[in-house]
Amino acid sequence: MNALASAATPRPAASAAPAATGNGADQEFSFSQADFERVRALIYQRAGISLHAGKQAMVYSRLSRRLRETGHRSFGSYLQWLDTHSGPGGEQEWQEFINCLTTNLTAFFREDHHFHALADDLKARGVANPRIWCSAASTGEEPYSIAMTVVETLGASTGARIVASDIDTKVLATASRGVYPADARGLSPERLRRHCQRGTGANAGFMRIRPELTKLIEFRTHNLMAAQWSLGEPFDIVFCRNVMIYFDAATQKRVLERIHAVMKPKGLLYVGHSENFSDSRELFRLRGKTIYERV
């Protein structure tokens, strides 16, 4: 983690906290069950993420980085500061808090069948400038895979626009750079040659996504729990894969309703392999393997 927030966050004196649970007596910071429940409430409030009861160790490991950066001596002290500060310094630390607790697992052409289906759908639509939203861009492999598929299907002169968003500002910074190890998982040798520039010298072992693809993508921070969505014109296609698994049923329903509202009629929603929205038939109908059509 970087130290941006620590510059804005005062270093408080140590404060008493309840005894820690589940992390051992030799742990660095005091972390009680009440602290964990407070973290669960705050991340749900800010990002809609439902943390399972057994995630204490994960929360401790990830958030302890922020305590070191900000000089807090206990989770109780840190959470109290977080919950009572606003303004730029407070919002900056809220973003760090969210960044720590989001999970980013991705690869190029992950769930490959979706990209074959995307190519087929782009051909069937016959639209030269489709609008596509990748709503969980992470470190960028998914939106770049979408862009590769678009160019391979519609040609390099396509007017397609891809909005690639994520709640985590750090992964978006990686995505916007478009630099990855040359042996990144999921890229065939042919795609590596066609769509990437190999690094040389000090950059040997890395590759950069070619400008022809990056110009199609707009990276932006977006919280699905935000009161207002300002995403521009309606989308033909939305990728929202392996996102809803972190939400409870009520939050899933609310997000689906809002995704529905920013899509064109008969637009397609691509979701993760373990996500099923058959209870939202008034919004989407199943069109293919983990692909839904907007009603």
Strand partners, 14: none
The DSSP-derived string for 33-49 is HHHHHHHHHHHHHHH--
Cα 57–Cα 93–Cα 217 angle in degrees, nearest 5: 95
Residues 6+ apart with CB under 8 A from 294: 260, 263, 264, 265, 266, 267, 268, 269, 283, 284
Q: Exactly one of 62, 66, 73, 210 is catalytic; which is it?
A: 62
120, 170, 101, 171: which is closest to 142 by C-alpha? 171
Cβ–Cβ under 8 Å, residues 247 and 186:
no
Residues 6+ apart with CB under 8 A from 249: none
Q: Which neighbouring-strand residues pair with 269?
A: 238, 292
Active site residue 110: no
Task: Assess whether 62 carries a catalytic annotation.
Answer: yes
Query: Which candidate in 166, 168, 210, 241 is catalytic?
Result: 166
| Residues carrying an active site annotation | 62, 166
